[in-house]
Amino acid sequence: MIRTYILNNQTLTYKDLEPLKPIPENTIWIDIKNPNDEEREWMQHLFKEEVPEEDDIDEIESSSRFYIDTDGVHITSLFPQRKGRETESSNVLFTIHGSMLITFREEDVSIIRLLRH
């Protein structure tokens, strides 16, 4: 799922985005959650560098969780998640791409829900 957050007159609205559709004007945040193959291909057109796979994000060493390249500033953070009685961790990749925040994650993360609000 690709969701864009658009800032108009100090009001934040969102719109789900289909692959290959243009990014709405005034988009300040693109949240990409559990992308399918078509959405992943769309992401390749958005970025110049290679889009990481879920396994690649999970394998990143703590010393490599922050880097800068031609696509912007990238930070990968690990967030604790409750699943029933268990606690698991979930990675979220944050990218500042021009004047836009892009988040990439494989599952629902409670901190992202809080950020939206």
Residue 55 has pLDDT above 60, yes or no: no
Can you give the pTM of this predicted structure?
A: 0.79
The reported pLDDT for the residue numbered 48 is 63
40 phi/psi in degrees, rounded to 5: -65, -40
For residue 48, the one-letter residue type is K
Asked if 27 and 14 touch (Cβ cutoff 8 Å), the reply is no
Rg of the chain's alpha carbons, rounded to an integer? 14
59-86 pLDDT tens trace: 555 556 787 888 889 888 888 877 778 8
**Second-level CATH architecture of 2-116:** 2-Layer Sandwich (3.30)
